[in-house]
Structure 1
Amino acid sequence: MSFLYPLWFWAVIPCIAVSIYLMRRSRSQTLIAPHIAKAMGLELGQNKSLVKVFTLAWLLAIFALAGPSLEDNTRPSMQGNDARVVVMDMSLSMYAKDVSPSRLDQARFKVADMLNLWTDGQTGLVVYAADAYSVAPLTRDSQSLLNHLPQLSPAIMPYAGARADKGVEQAISMLTNAGFQSGQIVLVIDDLSNKEKQAIESMLDGRWQLAILAVATENGAPIPLPDGGMLQTASGNTVVATSQFNNMNNLAQTVGGLFIPIQHTNRDVETITSMSDFLGNTVNDANAQKEITTWQNKGYWLILPIMALALLLFRRGVLFGLVMLVSLSQPNQAFANPWLNSDQQGFQAYQGGDYPKAQQLFDDPEWQGLSAYESGDYQTAIEHFSRLESTRASYNLGNAYAQAGDYDNAIEQYRKVLSTEPGHQDALDNLALVEQLKQQQPQDSESNSKDQSDSDEQQSQSEQSQQDDSSSSESENDGEQPQNESQPDAASDSNPQDEQQQQQQQQQQQQQQQQQHDDANSKPSEDNQQDLTQETQNEQIPEQEDQQASMTPQELSEAEQQKEQDLRQLDRVEAARDPSRLIRAQLQLQAQQKPKPQVTEKNW
């Protein structure tokens, strides 16, 4: 006999202590005199018997909670230890449509069917073009691999080309790094050259089993490009992507593998997966001697005698409830949400739009920064992103600086990203946009000072014109005064009216001048706003500075609105988060850690 939870026997100590206390208490304290209790049939022995029953029930409950096990359950360990790597061709020829809807789509469908049929072992995913890269390491979670398949295309590859031997080499490296000395390599390709065939033959030995699925036809087809055109050679001829089935078949026969062309039925997938299952069964037969032993808990049978003893304590309702509570409380090793860790809970909150809660739940500083960024707390996002050293963190840090208005640091972070990834298109776009916004800042201040100087100049001009008008009016009055000497009272009465008329005329002239000045400046401002949205017209920046120097306050508000639209554009770029971009960034990072692949004659 063994016990699953032996720590429960520590409860015997308080059980004995409580029993001794109750026995002594029943001797020293009685509510009824002994001779009266004897006459009534309530002797001291009854109290002692109740204490004994209570103690026995408690001990049985402890024994049951300890989990007594009288027999074990032994079963063989049948967990598969086989491993396989799917190597997918991502050369430009996969765009060909000699198989419907295209070679690329059919390759995705076939690999998805394989992943659904593989229920045991570990599977990895590798893609190749001019070089090979790992998309997902070996894992038992087929669903994670299925999520990657729709994002795979030749467009995400760092370099164009076709090197199937590089894909096989990457697959072998993945298997050996995971500690496997044997495994299966499933090659999903559309063509195989003689050079690739010879290189693969030199890599494979008896440890690695090769299966080739040809996703193409021997006649081939032109290669359509995403822009709608056809792939052409340097001389202008249309490229026709043919397939050499003979090389694939000869390679499979040489290394003792399997070759099968794509079929409209699922027979090709079933053939490859059955080959993998056969290899897995061989591994399981070798491990058949390993067994797993589990003990069965028989403590629940003790509930029956505990309930029988509880009947004797029926009149003691409190004790009865206490015994039942202890006997029925089984140990439950519970955890706070055992199926989701804090990062996963934070991701759920992030997907639900509760970004402040997600920021509190995440332990990963990068996700904390993304949550703070989405909630508009850009300073906190800057603090989180600053703790990271990756290229993606630098890009996100640049976005946070841009949103916070710190364009200098934003430009520095974007340039840092481009120093490691020169082809990072998002960083290039954002860098150009932020530099344009930075140039706009001093122009806004210059326009404010220009407006102030213009207003001062207008005011001085109006004062000068007013003085000229007043002097001219005085001269006219002096000329008329000799003629009106006979009427001095009338002349004195008409002077205030003339001054009022002159002031009204001056105000009208000033309004007309101001309106003409606004009309003269409004058109350049509208042209300037159009120029700000055209990033390709960088040669017009000096002209824009001259135009912005004469912007009115109303036009400045329009410039601020344009700036907000540009910042919202940054938000849209960041919010898109195309999964294919993440995979492309992952492949580009791997490409930077490898030497640049050599240029081959066939780059498709």
Structure 2
Amino acid sequence: MMDLSDLTLLLTQFRFIRPVWLLLFVPFAWLFYVQWKSQEAGSQWQRTLPEHLRKALTVGGSGWRRQLPLLILMLTTILVILVCAGPTWKKQPSPFHEDKTPLIVLMDTSQAMLEKDVAPDRLTRAKQKVEDLLAIRAGGGNALIAYAATAHVAMPLTRDIAVFKPMLEALSPEIMPREGKNAASAISLIQQQLQRRDIPGTVLLISNDVSAQSISQFHDYFSQHQHQLLVLAAGDNTRTSDLPLNMNHLNALVDMSNADLHALTVDDTDVEWIKRKVENHAALNASTHQPWQDMGYYLLFPVALLLLLWFRRGWLVQWSVAALAVVTLLAVPEPVYAESVHQVNLDSQKSAPPEPDVGERLKQFWLDLWLTPDQQGQWYFRRGDYLEAAEHFADPLWKGVAYYYASQFNAAHTVFMQSSEEVMQFNAANALAHQREYVAALKLLRELVKTYPDNAAMQHNLQVIEGIIEEINQFSESQSGGENANEGSVELGDEPQTADGADEQTNTQVMIQDKLTAEQLLGDEAIANKWLERVEADPKMFLRSKFSIQYQQAQEP
């Protein structure tokens, strides 16, 4: 279902990629006019005959039926010319997630979100909606900010859904340092997450109410930035609740901040609405360097249906042959010239893949007849079969991108490292980061920034990696048993003693007192795995400790 954002996108972005082809309307309009007049003149003598003789002597019908073949040919010609002109209203999606619009989920984690007017409760339902959104969202960074009386970053912008979900599940009012509801306290964190991005982002606020002060501050912020604000109303006014859904305040926020509002639904209507809003906002603010996506190929389907009518006897067969020739020329894919490279065996330990069946062999034979390996890779890539696309690509850049999109980051890194080109090395660093090889990615990015100091994307990613390592350093400091440590500190040293069916026991007397840096944590695989296992085992404890430290630091003069 099309909404206002879809219509705005269509009206503001619509254009022709190859507008010169529209000049063909002039000669074809003249030819059709001449043909129409010729047929009209040929039928003048019929009007002098009596009606009963005209019906007996006329073959092939009369009136509009006689002109029907010409009218259908005119329609077919118009569609073919439009295909040649390349109508479009959106940019091609970038193969790199850095160019995707960021999404910040601003989650209300106050006591009001535990109300059960929405089963099982508002907060649980909101978490489910965010998980559904992440599952269908194609790329892009996602950040999570939780707020009650104060706001805290639970997860900075990341494309790794596996890391995002545990932090989302750990959100609850009990991990927040103070009770209350102050959505405006998250504005500085939103600005911090989005200021390094070159394109405007989307902020998704999930709450049942906002204060007048927050409405005013959100208005001030979003009126000065191109970021989009979406509001998901958590609650149901048809059921009783101690802290009911306040649609008046939410509507006031929407009106003043030029935002959009949607209520929680039982089905996935709200999730699809958010996804469409995010994509449309990204398309409206897409980089001017991105090529336009040719949407004219969809018109070939009605053209093919109209051409079927030309098999009827007497329907200007000579015109249909010419039109079919034009469509055939349009359907021929443009050649792609790529450097042939040797494909690396990425996993020699795996067993040999099974032999393809007859259908697959016939399909591959047919593709080999008409498409180069890179064109076949593009064919699979556009259909979302990224792993199959990587197997077909000969161009090392596109092969690595396909592995990257398939989340085969080790394979992508191997392919990218085959070349010392700027873009290949940059993508190799990104692949390392997605494998949580932060130290290796940091070293490679530092070298690249020295070599290419004008590359803003490299500098941005370097800052992101440094921020991740700084977060690890801060967490390591909170676990060191120092003066800022609290009850949530965990042991990073000896193997914890556990028993079947018993809770894990830790001895505070043997906790590691030395602070481990990020390089030490990530440089030693055994320590890194132990640290990640402990964090993933209880993310709620991690967030409580993190939020408490941030709150204490904010209170210090």
TM above 0.5, yes or no, is: no
Q: Which structure would you say has the larger RCO, counting Cα contacts within 8 Å and 6 or more residues apart?
A: 1
Larger Rg: 1
TM-score (norm 2): 0.43
Report which of the two has the higher share of helix.
Answer: 1
